Structure 1
Amino acid sequence: MTNPRYTQRVLPGLVAVAVLATAAGYAGSHYFNVFSTGHAAVPAAAATVMHQHGMQAVSAAKQGDAEAYTCPMHPEVVQDHPGTCPICGMTLVKMQQAGDHAGNASPLVHVDEATQQRMGVRMESAAVTNMHKEINAFATISPDESRTVFVNPKVEGWIRHLHVQGVGQAVHKGQVLYEIYSPELQQRQRDYVDLLTRREALLGSSMELVGPNSAMLGSLAKERFRARERLLAADIPLDVVEELEKSRRISDVIPVRAAQDGVVGSIAAREGSYVNPMQTVLVYTDSRRVWAEITLFPDQVSWLKSGDVIVLTSGLDKTVQIRAKIDLSTLQIDAASRAAKLRLPLENSNQAFRAGAFAEAVILSSARKALSVPRDALIRTGHGDFLVVGQGQGHFSNTAVKTGIEDKERVEILGGLKAGQQVAVNAQFLLDAAGSLQAMQQRQLPPGSGANAAVVASPTPESSKPGMDMASGMHMHAGALQ
C-alpha cells in the first residue's frame, strides 16, 4: 500500500518536471526552426493570410488597378506595398503590367533596357549556315609494324658493351647499339685473311696465269667474295671489313650498328649476357610514321564516308594538329562488341605523336545547309530544349525547339524557330528565371481569374541596393525554378 506522505512529496515534483519538459520542447522546436531556416518560422495562420493577400495583389496588378510587390527568392510572398520579405529579408521587387504581345498567346517576360545592360544580354539572329556532323573520339597511337627492327645476333657470343641505356631512347642510323665478342666471328675473319693471302701469293708468283693457274685464281676470287658477304651478313660493319682487308688484323670485339633511325621499344639483354641467334637483344621502331587507331560505335559509323576530314590533336602537344582523309577500306569491326576500329597512317616528323600515347579525334562529316543558332543560346532541360526569343520592345519568351546536329560553335534547329529571329546568346538563364517566376505567380491565382497579360518585375529604388537588383535576384532563383 502506497504511503500517503510519500505521494504528497513526489506528486508536485512530477508535475514540475512535466511542465519543464513541455517548455523545453517548445523552445527547442522554435530554436531548431530558426537555426535551420535562418529566420523564425511563419505561423500557419499568418501564411494563409499572406497567401490570400498575395493572390488579391497579383489579381489587382494584372487588372491594372494597383501595384504589387514580390520577393525574388520567395515568389509566394506578394503584397500591395513596398517592403522587405518576411522570410529572407530581401527588398521586394515591383510587379508591373506589360500587356499582351500582339498575336502571341504565350506568356512573355519584359525586361527594360537598363536591366538588360546590367545583365549583359546579347542577341543574335538565327541564320542558315554550313553545318558538319562532328564525331568526337579518341585515337590510340601505335607504331608502324613495317618499320620495326628486331636486333638478333647472327652468331653466338657475349655482349661486351651495351650502348643503349633504356626503353624510349632515340637511336640513329649508324649508331653503335652493342659490341659482341664471338669466337665464331674471329674464325670467319681468319678464313677471310687466308683467302686474301693466297690470292695475293698467286698473283705475285712468276707463273703464267693460264690453264690450271687461271682456274685456281678464279676459284679464289669467288671464295673471297662469299667470305666477305658472310662477314657483312654477320652484322660486321663495312668499315671494319675494309680495315681488315688493309691491316689483316683480327678484331676481337665487333660493333653492331643501327640500320635506321628509331626509338627503342624493348631490351632483352645486358652487358655480359650470352646471346645466340634465337634471342632478341633489342627492338626499335622508326617513329617518323605511326598509325592512329580510332574506336567508333555503330551509330557513329553510319555517318562516315570515304573522304571525310578527320582532325587529330596530339595528346602530348595540344598545338599540333594533323588533318587527314578517311579511307573506309581500313575499317575493321569487332564481331563481339560491334565496335569499329579505323586505322590511319600519320607522318610524325615532329615527333608529336608517340607510340602508346592518345590523341583527340574529331571527324567532320560532309557539310550541309541548316538553320542554326550559337550553342550558348540553347537551354537544355529534362523537359526538352528551349531558346529565349526576343519579341521586340524588351519582350522575351521561352520557345521550345527541336535540335539536330551540333558542332563546336553552333547547333541546328529543326523546328520551333524561323530564320532571322533574335535569340539571347548569354544571360538567357536570367531571362528564363524571370519567366519561371511569372509562371509561378500565375499559378497562385484562383481558377478563371488569369489573363494573358504578362506580369513582369522591374527594379525599384528600394531594390537598387548592392546584391538586391533584379538580375541578381533572378540569378539566385534560376536554379530553384528549373
Structure 2
Amino acid sequence: MKTIFKIAAIGLTALAVILFASCKGKSGTSATAGAAGQEQGQVAKARPASEKTIYHCPMHPTYTSDKPGDCPICGMKLVPMEKEEKQAATPPPAPKKKTMYRSTMSPGEISDKPGKDSMGMEMVPFEVEESGSITEVGGRIQVKISAERQQLIGIKTALVKSQSIHKLIQAVGRVDYAEPNISIVNLKFDGWVEKLFVNSTGRAVRKGEPLFDIYSPELVSAQQEYLIALKAGATLGDAASLLNSAREKLRLWDITDSQVEELGRTRQFKKTVTVYSPSPGIVVEKNVLQGQKIMAGENLFKIADLSRVWILGEIYEYELPFIKTGQEAKISLSYYPGESFAGKIIYIYPYLKPETRTNQVRIEVANPGLKLKPEMFASLEIHVDYGTKLTVPAGAVLDAGVSKIVFVAKGDGYFEPREVKLGVKGENLFEVLDGLGDGENVVTSANFLIDSESSLKAALSRMTKGSTEEHEHD
C-alpha cells in the first residue's frame, strides 16, 4: 500500500514540473515576440518599406547602383545618396508629344488638325515634342545639382553684364634709327681732305661742328668768279646778275652764307674750305681719311640724331584688326628693369614678314639720355579699348569645337546649357553677340564637371528614348 502512494507522489511531482516548464516557455516566447515586433515597428517607422537605398560614385555622380561596392569607372567606393540627390538623379520625364498632320505629297505642308491637303489627299498624323520639353544643346541637357554637391565641387557663378572691355596686345620689338633724323655728308665737287677734325665713329657731334677741310681747284675757281663779279658790281651797275649767279653757285656747292659773306668781306679766296656737320647726333659711319681724294657724291659721314628713335614692333596677323595709328604703346627693356617708355604708333607697314607671319608697326619714342640704343630688343604693350559691350567671363565659356557653350544657373540647383555667339575677346572677358541676356547668371568654375554630367545624362536620355521607340515599334 505504501509503495502505491510513493509511485503516485512521484508521478504528481513530475506532472507539476512539466506544467511549470510549459507555462514558462509560453511566457518567454510571448515576450520575445513582443520585443521583436516592437523593434520591427521602430525600424518600419524609421524607414518606409518602399524606400530603397541608392549608391553613387562621388567622382562620377551619374553612375548609380542599388548595392554598395566600387565604381567601375574609377574604382572609388560608392556612397549612399541623399534624398535630394536621388531626386536630382531621377531621369527627366519623357517629353510631351503633340500630334500634327502633314501631306504625303508635299511634306512641307503641315497642320495641327486632321483634314485634307491642298491636293485633296488625306493628311497623315505624326508626333512632335511640345515646346517646353527637355531639349539638347550641343549634346548636353539641363541638370540639377544639390546645394551640398555644388559646394563640394566648387561651383561659382558670375553675372552677364554690360561693361567696358579692354584687350592687351603684347609684342616684341627692336630699337632702330628714326630715318628722318639721319644725315649724310657728301660733296658736289672733287677734292682732297687737307685736315680731318672728326676721325672716329661713335663720336657725338653738334650741328655746325667742323668735320674736315677740303681743297678743290673747282671750289677755288668758283670763289674767284664770285670775287670778280663782286668787283665788277662795284664799277658796273649791270653786273648784279653775274654776282647773283656766282653767289648761287657757291650755295649750291653747300658753302654756307657765313662763308660767302666772309669771302665778300675779305675779298680773298681760300685754298681750303671747312665742311660742317648739318645736324647734331652720333657719327655712325665714317668713310673718309685725312689726305684722301674725294669724288663728288661720295658718302663721307652718316650722322644719326638719337634724341628720338623708332621701335619696330612685330604684331601677329590675327591681332592686326585691333591696331591703329595713333595708339599709345608702353615699351620696356630688360636692360632697365622697372622702367618704361611711352611711344605712339605712327605707321603700320602694308606687308607681312613671311618667316614669322608678323606685321611690323613703327612706334616713335622720345629718347632722353640716349638710353634706347639701336638694335636693342624691347617688349611692347598696347592697350585696346573696345568701349562698353555685353560681356561674359572668359572662364564661363566652353569651347565645343564649332560652337561655344555656357551653363546658365536657373535657380533651385538647375543648370541649363546655352550656345552663345561671341565677339571680341578682352582681358578675361568675351563680348556677347547672341545667346545671353544682361543679368543672367553663368557658371565660371567647375563648369567642366557640370559639362561632363550634362553630356552623360544626355547620352543616357538618348539611349532610353531609343529603347522606348524600339519597344513602341515592336
Residue 376, structure 1, aligned to residue 398, structure 2: no
Decide whether the 8 Å contact of 1:290 with 1:355 is kept in 2: no
| Aligned residue among 276, 281, 286 for 1:256 | 276
Q: Is the 8 A contact 1:313 1:361 kept in 2?
A: yes
Per-residue CA deviations over 1:192-237 (Å, capped at 9, x if unaligned) read 99779x97xxxxxxxxxxxxx9943879999888767655554456
CA pair 242-215 structure 1, distance change in 2 beyond 3 A: closer
SS where residue 217 of structure 2 aligns? Answer: helix
Matched, 1:422 2:438: no
Deviations 1:108-161 (A, max 9, x none): 141536854873x44221124467999999999998776654432133234554
Match of 1:410 among 408, 429, 433: 429
Whether contact under 8 Å (2:57, 2:79) holds in the other structure is yes
Aligned to 2:419: 400
Alignment of 1:387-466 (within 5 A): 387-436=406-455
Structure 2 partner of 1:313:
329
Task: Give the share of equivalent positions with the same residue, in percent.
Answer: 23
- Paired AA for residue 329 in structure 2: T
Q: 1:263 to 1:251 in 2, by over 3 A?
A: same
Determine helix, strand or coil for the equivalent of 2:448.
Answer: helix
Question: Counterparts of 1:97 and 1:67 in 2: how far apart (Å)?
Answer: 8
Equivalent position SS for 2:220 = helix
Which amino acid in structure 2 is aligned with residue 374 of structure 1?
Answer: P
Contact 1:310–1:364 under 8 Å retained in 2: no
Structure-to-structure mapping, 1:33-432, within 5 angstroms: 65-70=52-57, 72=59, 79-80=65-66, 90=76, 92=78, 96-99=85-88, 105=134, 106-110=141-145, 112=147, 116=151, 119=154, 121-129=155-163, 149-159=183-193, 161=196, 163=198, 172-176=206-210, 178-184=211-217, 187=220, 191=224, 215-216=234-235, 233-236=252-255, 250=270, 252=272, 254-258=274-278, 260-261=279-280, 267=285, 269-271=287-289, 273-283=292-302, 288=308, 311-313=327-329, 320-322=342-344, 348-350=365-367, 370-432=389-451
Aligned-residue CA RMSD (Å): 6.1
CA shift in 2, pair 1:135/1:186, >3 Å = closer
Q: Could you tell me which amino acid in structure 2 is paired with residue 127 of structure 1? A: K
Corresponding residue of 2:123: none
Q: What TM-score do the two structures reach when normalised by structure 2?
A: 0.51
CA–CA separation in structure 1 for the residues paired with 2:341 and 2:396: 29
Q: Point out the more displaced range, 98-107 or 404-413.
A: 98-107
| Matching residue's letter, 2:344 | I
Q: Secondary structure at the match of 1:400?
A: strand
SS in 2 for 1:429: helix
AA partner of residue 66 (structure 1)? T
Distance 2:459 2:199 in 1: 74
1:416-447 deviation per Cα after TM superposition (whole angstroms, max 9, x unaligned) = 32221101234433443454465567678796
Query: Aligned in 2, Cα 1:396/1:77: closer, same or farther, shift over 3 Å?
Result: closer
- In structure 2, relative to structure 1, the CA distance for the partners of 1:235 and 1:130 (3 Å cut) is same
1:295–1:164 distance in 2 versus 1, CA, 3 Å: farther
Q: TM-score, normalised by structure 1?
A: 0.50
In structure 2, distance between residues paired with 1:166 and 1:111: 77
The 1-side partners of 2:170 and 2:408 are apart by: 30
Pick closer, same or farther for the CA change 1:193–1:130 going to 2, 3 Å: closer
**Does structure 2 retain, via aligned residues, the 8 Å contact 1:68–1:80?**
yes
CA distance in 2 between partners of 1:143 and 1:284 (Å): 11
Contact 1:113 1:394 in 2 (8 A): no
Q: Is the 8 A contact 1:406 1:412 kept in 2?
A: yes
- SS in structure 2 at match of 1:97: helix
Q: Which structure's CA Rg is the greater one?
A: 2
Amino acid at match of 1:156: D
What is the alpha-carbon distance in structure 2 between the residues aligned to residue 68 and residue 143 of structure 1?
A: 73
Distance in 1 of aligned mates of 2:169 and 2:445: 26
> Which stretch has the larger CA shift, 91-100 or 401-410?
91-100
Distance 1:92 1:172 in 2: 85
The answer to which of 433-442 and 218-227 deviates more is 218-227
The 3 A distance-change label for structure 1 pair 227 and 299 is closer
Displacement, 1:385?
0.3
Unmatched 5+ residue regions in structure 2?
Answer: 1-49, 94-131, 135-140, 334-339, 469-474
Q: Is the contact made by 1:310 and 1:361 (CA closer than 8 Å) also made in structure 2?
A: no
**Structure 1 spans left out of the alignment, 5+ residues:** 1-62, 200-212, 450-482
The structure that is strand-richer by fraction is 2
Q: What is the number of residues matched between the two proteins?
A: 352
* Aligned 8 A contact 1:71 1:85 in 2: no
Give me the whole-angstrom Cα distance separating, in 2, the residues matched to 1:376 and 1:126.
12
Q: Measure the CA separation in 2 of the matches of 1:216 and 1:238.
A: 24
2:62–2:457 contact (8 Å) kept in structure 1: no
Letter in 2 for 1:151: V
One-letter identity of the residue aligned with 1:65: K
- When residues 107 and 263 of structure 1 are mapped into structure 2, their CA distance, relative to the original with a 3 A threshold, is farther
CA change 1:190–1:125 in 2 (3 A) is closer
Query: Does the CA contact (< 8 Å) of 2:408 and 2:418 recur in 1?
Result: yes
Q: Please tell me whether the aligned partners of residues 61 and 453 of structure 2 are also in contact (alpha carbons under 8 angstroms).
A: no
In 2, are the aligned partners of 1:140 and 1:357 still within 8 Å (CA)? yes
How far, CA to CA, are the matches of 1:152 and 1:80 in structure 2? Answer: 97
Shift of 1:254: 2.5
